Amino acid sequence: MVKVRGVSKQYGGKKVVDNVSLEIAKGKITSFIGPNGAGKSTLMSMISRLIAKDEGEVLIEDREIGQWKSGELAKKISILKQSNHINIRLTVRDLVNFGRFPYSQGRLNKEDEAYVDEAIRYMHLETMQNKFLDELSGGQKQRAFIAMVIAQNTEYVLLDEPLNNLDMNHSVQIMKVLRRLVDELGKTVVLVIHDINFASCYSDYIVALKDGKVVKEGTTDEIIEPSVLREVYDMEIPVQEIGGNKICVYFA
């Protein structure tokens, strides 16, 4: 269980995340939604210790993240940020191998190799596993990074805008993979996501943030409601049910 209690972060006197408390349910997909500058990514970075929090605490399995050994935490929780510029030349397989670092410290054994193979298969990267990352398209690269996180095999997987720059087909593929991670392997996935329709179709819980505060959290059904969305995005967002999914029609 991940518990966030009264977490805040300021940049230059401005509170980007302001006294946020929430709990993330195990074995579910939870999405953070909200307008630009709502503090979604910052909150996620604090939960995963990428940036230090100014106040509050983040408990993972009832232990404060500061109390965890970084190496142990890396077997429990993983995070992938949205921009992944790497200035060394790696093949897809090299990159996925890095996912095993918390377990193998760089010396992969048979078991590690098996996890790497599995992750590569999961993301359909078998045919391009020996290609260099800079030869791949944006979508393929994104899949390679997600494969690294899958190889890391952590209970909690945090992804900051995993659909950034992807076309519809790749977006759907990735969301389906995340759904499988949860349903088949029992992982807990937390997403920062901009497209509320993806959030609506694939997540179990949604946390809506605005100006660094949680506006409302609840099941997908409770959040994808015109009244809630109006409060979050300051605009009218009609919601229609299409094929059993709630779809927001906000384009016109």
Q: How far is the CB of 167 from another protein (least distance, A)?
A: 24
Footprint on residues 117-176 left by another protein (CB under 8 A): 152
Number of residues that bind another protein (CB under 8 A): 29
Out of 12, 88, 241, 252, which residue is the one contacting another protein (CB under 8 A)?
88
**Nearer Cβ to another protein (7/73):** 73
**Nearer Cβ to another protein (152/188):** 152
**Nearer Cβ to another protein (8/84):** 84
Candidates 21-29, 44-52, 208-216, 229-237: pick the segment binding another protein (CB under 8 A).
44-52
Q: Which amino acid is at 205?
A: Y
Q: How far is the CB of 71 from another protein (least distance, A)?
A: 4
Candidates 59-67, 85-93, 119-127, 222-230: pick the segment binding another protein (CB under 8 A).
85-93
Binding mask 100-119 for another protein (x = CB under 8 A): -xx--xx-------------
Q: Which residues bind another protein (CB under 8 A)?
A: 48-51, 70-75, 78-81, 84-90, 94, 98-99, 101-102, 105-106, 152
